[in-house]
Amino acid sequence: MDTVIPVSRPDPAPYRVAPEVTARRDPAWTRFDPTVLPAGFPARPVMVGNEIYRHSVYGQRHPLSIQRVTPAVDIARAMGWIDDAHYAESRQAEPDQLHRFHDPDYVAAVVEAERSRHVPEAVRERYNIGRNGNPVFAEIFRRPATSSGASILAGSALAHVQRGLIHSLAGGTHHGRRDMAWGFCFFNDPVLGILAMLDHGLERVAYVDLDAHHGDGVQDAFHDDDRVLTVSLHEDGRWPRTGALDDRAGGTARNLPVPAGLNDSEMALLVNAAVVPLVQRFFPDALVIQTGADGLADDPQARLELSNRALWDAVAALVPTAPRVLVVGGGGYNPWSVARAWAGIWATLNGIDPAVPPVPAAERVLRDLTWNHSRGRNPPEHWFTTLADRPNPGPVRDHIHRIIEAVLAP
């Protein structure tokens, strides 16, 4: 029998966005209208949302078949943490606005997928639509275009004030690539929001990603762009399996791939000893914080063991590092843990302690949620009767100290 010698094949080239795509400045594309925002902005934080998320799902068997955005808003309203004076309805981004970052042919393919509810095989292959977790569903264009519209509005608005804070729960689609769907993300709203900031005159923007998955799409968009610092804290080895500790994207990125089982004490040390100093020494004009909730212990898509208090504390530590802050959502696949976490982030942004019992109306929001998952068949009572998770402190492993030392090194 002949011996078969395996042929060594080089790794595929990393995905990159051509520098000229993001480098130009052209504020006209945002079509910024300051009258859309409440009169109280920028003196008070503003939440940007839309009712499209109340009934839109990716499909019954998809991890995003759950309600996440509107329950968080409903809880915040029930708790008395927000009213119409501090809430703005997001407009849908038009295709030509999405072209600021996304390939026009790709945008047209998403529009056609919504119109026809059908994707030819050639389009599936080229644009990754209708496969690999990126399904064709009723609002395949309108839904991501609406979250993109929110980030474009927020980025433009923040660039026009000296200080301000905007919370867009539906944003955070950090995997979206310029010319294809990727990781449940059809458009990359954080990139569009950052481009709005830069195009309206800001010089330096920091992006901090707290999702359990690496913020690859944002890092790739601004690779080698010294106007944008991307910092991603994510589970090591988790899809998309990028964001290694030594990956600095030409010097404009820092990555903190953390081990499974990350606890609250380790998260606090990473944020306060590494992430906050990295942002501070960049001295940004604005900060974008991606607050994916899939690193929480109750989430099925990762192996981290954080309480929602750790996420709230991280946001509270990061907000003071820049005068203008956009907070977006991200991953999160347990409807109860996401809704409670994101409602608590809004409270944190307003100086309110979210570690309080839910009022009856907020508890009803939680009891009305459903989840087609084994963990959702008999949910524990504390998912209904508490907003704050039980803290999960623990020992700080040596590996955590090595991550901090590595990312702070020149």
As annotated, the active-site residues are: 175
Can you give 121-163 as a three-state secondary structure string?
HHHHHHHCCCECCECCCCCCCHHHHHHHHHHHHHHHHHHCCCC
What residues form DSSP beta bridges with 290? 209, 328
Q: Report the 10 Å Cβ neighbour count for 12.
A: 6
C-alpha to C-alpha distance for 31 and 365, rounded to whole angstroms: 36
* DSSP codes joined into one string, 231-266: EEEEETT-TT----TT--GGGTEEEEEEPTT--HHH
Determine the distance from the C-alpha atom of residue 60 to the mean position of all C-alpha atoms in its chain, rounded to a whole number: 22
Strands 228-235 and 253-258: parallel
Contact 76, 169 (CB under 8 A): no
Residues composing the chain? 410
Edge-to-edge strands, sheet with 164-168:
87-89, 46-49, 164-168, 324-328, 286-290, 205-209, 228-235, 253-258
Helix (H, G, I), strand (E, B) or coil at 208: strand
* DSSP codes joined into one string, 330-399: -----HHHHHHHHHHHHHHHTT----SPPPHHHHHHHHT----SGGGSS--THHHH-SSPPP---PPPHH
C-alpha to C-alpha distance for 312 and 349, rounded to whole angstroms: 9
Which residue matches tokens 């607050």? 291
C-alpha to C-alpha distance for 248 and 230, rounded to whole angstroms: 9
Question: What Cα–Cα distance (Å) separates residue 163 from each residue in 256, 324, 326, 346, 408?
Answer: 29, 5, 11, 17, 28
Which one, of 298, 305, 319, 90, lies nearest residue 208 by Cα? 319
